[in-house]
Amino acid sequence: MRLGMLVDLRTCIGCHACSVACKSEFDVPLGVFRDTVKYVEEGKYPHATRHFLPVLCNHCEDAPCLSACPTGAIFKPEGQAVVINKSVCNANKVCMTACPYGAIYIDPFEGVAQKCTFCEHRTAQGLMPACVDACPTRCRIFGDLDDPKSEIAQKAASNTTTVWKPDARTKPRVLYIDPKGALGLIKDVGIQSSTDDPAQGRVEKS
């Protein structure tokens, strides 16, 4: 078994229903996210385009956060989600500096690292993750990537898929159908305040 998620960027409308469902499910504090939608703009008027990019923990096969954690608080049961054991986390933030996706945050109330768990408490009961259930366009598909009969495996097989930041060599289990190459437009330098990037004419917001 290899749990994963496939995000079809052709159908994402940037409604943030997934972000809101996730916030609600885990009571995620203000200012931090387990799951959100980035907006990336490309081109200039009259040929400007906006792409919507749902991003979350990639539950990497070679998770750098897991390797970096000094207390063993981050672990990955075989084939399942990468999760954090709060009782052993000492908030040293090394996982945050190791994760190339900015997927981990320190919960300001509990003082421990937190991230997406693929809603393991829901999936254990046969439910879908909250973000998948909330998506009005069904752009997210969750399931077993190794099961050829699963919807996610079939859709991945019948489409060209890619991952976010393949150069990081983390083997993400969140796959994207991204025919316009929008993932590559997400800049590493955070949110740009200007609506005009003279270098590329691209703007990222979240």
Q: Considering the complex, state which of residue 68 and residue 155 has its C-beta at the smaller distance from another protein.
A: 68
Question: What string marks each residue from 11 to 30 as x (binds another protein by CB under 8 A) or -?
Answer: --------------------
| Part in contact with another protein (CB under 8 A); list of ranges 6-14, 101-109, 123-131, 172-180 | 101-109
DSSP 147: -
Here the tokens at position 122 are: 């829901």
Beta strand 174-177 pairing with 3-8: parallel
Q: Which of 14, 43, 72, 136 binds another protein (CB under 8 A)?
A: 72
Q: Match 């052709």 to its residue by tokens.
A: 10
**Residue 68 CA: distances (Å) to CA of 62, 65, 164, 202:** 11, 5, 20, 33
| Residue 68 sits in the site that holds another protein (CB under 8 A) | yes
Distance CA 50, CA 71 (A): 41
* Measured CA angle at 198 (ends 194, 200), to 5 deg: 105
Q: Considering the complex, state which of residue 44 and residue 78 has its C-beta at the smaller distance from another protein.
A: 78
| Part in contact with another protein (CB under 8 A); list of ranges 1-9, 86-94, 129-137, 175-183 | 86-94
| Residue 119 sits in the site that holds another protein (CB under 8 A) | no
DSSP 184: G
Here the tokens at position 177 are: 């159908």
Site for another protein in 137-196 (CB under 8 A): 188-191
Where along the sequence are the contacts to another protein (CB under 8 A)? 32-33, 36, 38, 55, 64, 66-72, 88, 90-94, 96-98, 100-106, 111, 188-191, 206
